[in-house]
């Protein structure tokens, strides 16, 4: 088992400050495995409820009676299956001398877990758990992580063939079972076709009208499909940043399949050789590095954007944190150079610093506020 040190430390810190903490992440991303190790790190006893287990559901038939006397860490897995528990947790969290901390696990965004967001407003904080990151597996294993993605069973498979087989099974199960459990009733064949088409738009600006015409439905329908997959945490939408400048700026989001392994399966990429010959290799690399940077630096979803103008200037990732703005460009090259687009982003957005993440071995200064960061130094050289 790979110890997820960064996420464990973050969760221990949150549980010391909040009575209810939520871990959200796609199915099979490792939420349950991580939480089972937390009680040891917190030196506290833990009680575990799995809401997919009929016995645990029976134990919670009277939730107030079952939960009010518990102490230590109480874990409730797959909370989206029993949303009626959220009001009970609100009451328990408001007790003045409560000795229990509640850790709830869900396979959807807080927006989709609407009842939880409303019932526990101001009482719960969420931590989004992705797959394995470079922090977890080590920088020397980046190619395996990029090809297979971060889902534990995919990454740890004994061969690329078994890894790809697991991902195909995951996609089928996700569409046929997991989405319906979240209240999504769209046919699995329709969503599979949509997801597959979306993979070919990975790293591009979303155009609902164009996509709707290609898919044969209204643009509002494909927009709904996109939002559903985003809420299920398998698609990332980077929202556009708008600056008060004279240039016309892009106002639609940029779309990424959140896990690089799922992207490769949807594109029919099975091996490293397939990936190196595929026309989407640059977009795949861009999405992979953006996910690693966001995780490594602890950037929140609401801090992350992309920026582009209709004249062609663009920035892969813009992070707005307080008064500071940081820029990130991703280049699949060992010898990055400063481009007019970078200079435009630096000047128009008044960036504090611009990092160019590249696939070479050396970190070096390109210009005064532009630094080239080698992937092999990613964990050491990015400093805020």
Task: Write out pLDDT tens, residues 267-324.
Answer: 999 999 999 999 999 999 999 999 999 998 889 889 999 999 999 899 999 999 888 9
Please indicate, yes or no, whether residues 43 and 163 belong to a single structural domain of this protein. no
8 A C-beta contact, residue 198 and residue 262: no
Q: Which residue has the tokens 């000047």?
A: 347
Query: Please, which contacts does 63-72 make with residues 24 or more away whose CB atoms are closer than 8 Å?
Result: 63/88, 64/88, 64/91, 64/92, 67/92, 67/100, 68/92, 70/100, 71/45, 71/99, 71/100, 72/39, 72/44, 72/45, 72/46, 72/47, 72/99, 72/100, 72/101
Region of poorest pLDDT, from 37-46, 332-341, 365-374: 37-46
Q: Residue 100: which domain range?
A: 5-128
- Please indicate, yes or no, whether residues 14 and 106 belong to a single structural domain of this protein: yes
Verify that 92 and 212 share a domain, yes or no: no
Q: State whether 116 and 141 are in the same domain.
A: no
Q: Are strands 304-308 and 353-358 parallel, antiparallel or unpaired?
A: unpaired
CB 374 within 8 A of CB 381: yes
E strand or H helix at 366: strand 364-367
Burial 354-374, CB ≥16 within 10 A → b, else e: bbbbbbbeebeeeeeebbbbb
Question: In the prediction, which pLDDT does 384 show?
Answer: 65
- CA-to-CA distance for 272 and 180, rounded, in angstroms? 34
The last residue of one of the domains, among 128, 143, 176, is 128
- Which residues lie closer than 8 Å to 136 by C-beta, 6 or more apart? 2, 3, 4, 5, 6
Q: What is the pLDDT of residue 129?
A: 93
Task: Report the phi/psi class of residue 203: left, alpha or beta, with left for phi > 0 and alpha for psi in -120 to 50.
Answer: left
Query: Which pLDDT does position 287 carry in this prediction?
Result: 97
As for how many domains the chain has, the answer is 2
Domain's final residue, options 128, 161, 196: 128
Pairing of strands 204-205, 254-257: antiparallel
Which pLDDT score is estimated for 117?
53
Q: Clarify whether residues 208 and 283 are in a common domain.
A: yes
The length of the chain, given as a count of residues: 384
Confidence check: pLDDT of 132 > 90: yes
- Asked whether residue 137 carries a pLDDT value surpassing 90, the answer given is yes
CATH code for position 42: 3.40.50.300
Query: For residue 125, what pLDDT band results from cuts at 50, 70 and 90?
Result: confident
**Any idea what DSSP says for residue 177?**
I
Residue 192 has pLDDT above 80, yes or no: yes
Cβ atoms of 280 and 202 within 8 Å: the answer is: yes
Please tell me whether residues 170 and 304 are part of one structural domain.
yes
Q: Which residues contact 296 (CB under 8 A, 6 or more apart)?
A: 133, 134, 135, 378, 379, 382
Q: What is the pLDDT of residues 313-350, one digit of tens each?
A: 999 999 998 889 999 999 999 999 999 999 999 999 99
Average pLDDT value for residue range 67-71:
89
Higher pLDDT, 113 or 23: 23
- Is residue 47 helix, strand or coil? strand
Q: Is residue 112 scored above 60 in pLDDT?
A: no
Lowest mean pLDDT: which of 42-56, 299-313, 354-368?
42-56
For the ranges 80-84, 215-219, 231-235, 362-366, the lowest mean pLDDT is seen at: 80-84
- For residue 51, the Cα-to-chain-centroid distance in whole angstroms is 23
| DSSP element (H, E) containing 75 | strand 72-77
The neighbouring-strand residues paired with 104 are: 22, 76
**DSSP secondary structure code for residue 309 in this structure:** B
Residues above pLDDT 90, as percent of the chain: 66
Are 66 and 185 members of one domain?
A: no
Do 322 and 286 share a structural domain? yes
Helix-helix angle 208-215:188-200, to 10 degrees: 130
The C-alpha atoms of residue 177 and residue 81 are separated, in whole angstroms, by 13
Does the pLDDT of residue 257 top 80, yes or no?
Answer: yes
Mean pLDDT of the chain, nearest integer:
90
Run of H or E including 315:
strand 314-321
At residue 77, does pLDDT exceed 60? yes
The model's pTM is: 0.93
Residue 169 and residue 43 share a domain: no
Pick the last residue of a domain from 94, 128, 162.
128
> Are both 244 and 321 inside the same structural domain?
yes
Span between the terminal Cα atoms of the chain, in Å: 31
Residue 363 pLDDT greater than 90, yes or no: yes
- How many CA atoms lie within 13 Å of 147's alpha carbon, on the beta-carbon side? 21
Same domain, 111 and 212: no
Q: Are 297 and 323 in contact (CB under 8 A)?
A: no
- Same domain for 73 and 194, yes or no, is no
User: Given this model, what pLDDT does residue 79 score?
Assistant: 86
């Amino acid at each position: 088992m790979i110890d997820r040190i960064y996420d464990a430390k973050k969760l221990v810190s949150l549980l010391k400050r909040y009575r209810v903490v939520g871990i959200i992440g796609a199915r099979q991303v490792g939420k349950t495995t991580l939480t089972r190790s937390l009680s040891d790190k917190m030196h506290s006893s833990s009680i575990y409820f799995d809401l997919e287990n009929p016995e645990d559901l029976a134990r919670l038939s009277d939730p107030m009676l079952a939960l009010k006397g518990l102490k230590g860490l109480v874990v409730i897995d797959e909370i989206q299956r029993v949303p009626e528990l959220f009001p009970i947790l609100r009451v328990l969290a408001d007790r003045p001398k409560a000795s229990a901390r509640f850790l709830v696990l869900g396979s959807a965004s807080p927006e989709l877990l609407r009842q939880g967001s409303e019932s526990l407003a101001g009482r719960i904080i969420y931590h989004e758990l992705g797959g394995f990151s470079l922090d977890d597996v080590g920088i020397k294993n980046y190619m395996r992580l990029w090809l297979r993605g971060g889902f534990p069973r995919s990454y740890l498979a004994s061969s690329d063939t078994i890894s790809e087989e697991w991902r195909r099974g995951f996609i089928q199960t996700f569409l046929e079972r997991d989405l319906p459990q979240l209240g999504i009733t769209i046919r699995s064949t329709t969503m599979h076709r949509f997801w597959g088409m979306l993979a070919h738009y990975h790293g591009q600006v979303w155009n609902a009208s164009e996509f709707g015409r290609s898919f044969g439905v209204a643009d509002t329908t494909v927009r709904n499909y996109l939002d559903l997959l985003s809420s299920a945490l398998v698609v990332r939408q980077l929202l556009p940043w708008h600056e008060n400048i004279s240039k016309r700026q892009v106002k639609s989001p940029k779309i990424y399949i959140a896990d690089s392994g799922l992207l490769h399966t949807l594109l029919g990429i099975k091996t490293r050789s397939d990936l190196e010959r595929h026309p989407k290799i640059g977009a795949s690399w861009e999405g992979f590095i953006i996910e690693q940077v966001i995780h490594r630096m602890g950037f929140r979803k609401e801090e992350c954007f992309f920026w582009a103008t209709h004249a062609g200037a663009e920035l892969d990732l813009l992070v707005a944190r307080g008064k500071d703005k940081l820029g990130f460009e991703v280049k699949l090259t060992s010898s990055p150079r400063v481009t007019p687009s970078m200079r435009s982003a630096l000047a128009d957005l008044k960036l504090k610093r611009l990092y160019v993440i590249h696939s070479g071995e050396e970190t070096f200064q390109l210009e005064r506020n532009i630094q080239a960061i080698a992937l092999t130094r990613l964990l050491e050289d990015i400093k805020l």
